[in-house]
Amino acid sequence: MDIEQRPVAEKHFLNTTVHKISWSGLTVAVKDRRTGQTKNILDNVEGLVNSGDCCAVMGPSGCGKTTLLNALARRPINATVDGRVCIDSTQLPDAAFRHVTSFVEDHDTFIGSLT
């Protein structure tokens, strides 16, 4: 089904506001519990997702996938976050950012044998 031809009742699912989300220089640093040294979990990461694209974040356990998503969503984390996360090339204030974005948490509520 062509999403442009959906019934009027479903038009609210279409994104007409945000055209791209981009990030650059994204670095997330934490203190190592044993040594007290600063350790970069993400180091100068950049990326771009255009409206309508499907983007998969993949990697082994502990590689920083959740950290990346939390940093992109500006969720509070116990780390120092540097870099830019932009909506349509503009770095928005937190209130405006929250108005045009949302975050759905990953809960393991499904039956594991069905995945």
pLDDT in tens, 48-92: 999 888 899 999 999 999 999 999 999 988 999 999 999 999 999
Measured CA to CA, the distance from residue 16 to residue 30 in angstroms comes to 37
Parse the chain into domains and list their residue ranges.
25-103
Judged against a pLDDT cut of 90, whether residue 39 lies above it is answered with: yes
Q: How far is CA 103 from CA 2, 28, 29, 32, 34, in A?
A: 26, 19, 22, 28, 32
pTM: 0.76
Q: What is the pLDDT of residue 25?
A: 97
Cβ-Cβ contacts under 8 Å for 101 (sequence gap 6 or more): 18, 21, 73, 87
Judged against a pLDDT cut of 60, whether residue 6 lies above it is answered with: no
Q: In the numeric block, which tokens belong to residue 82?
A: 């540097």
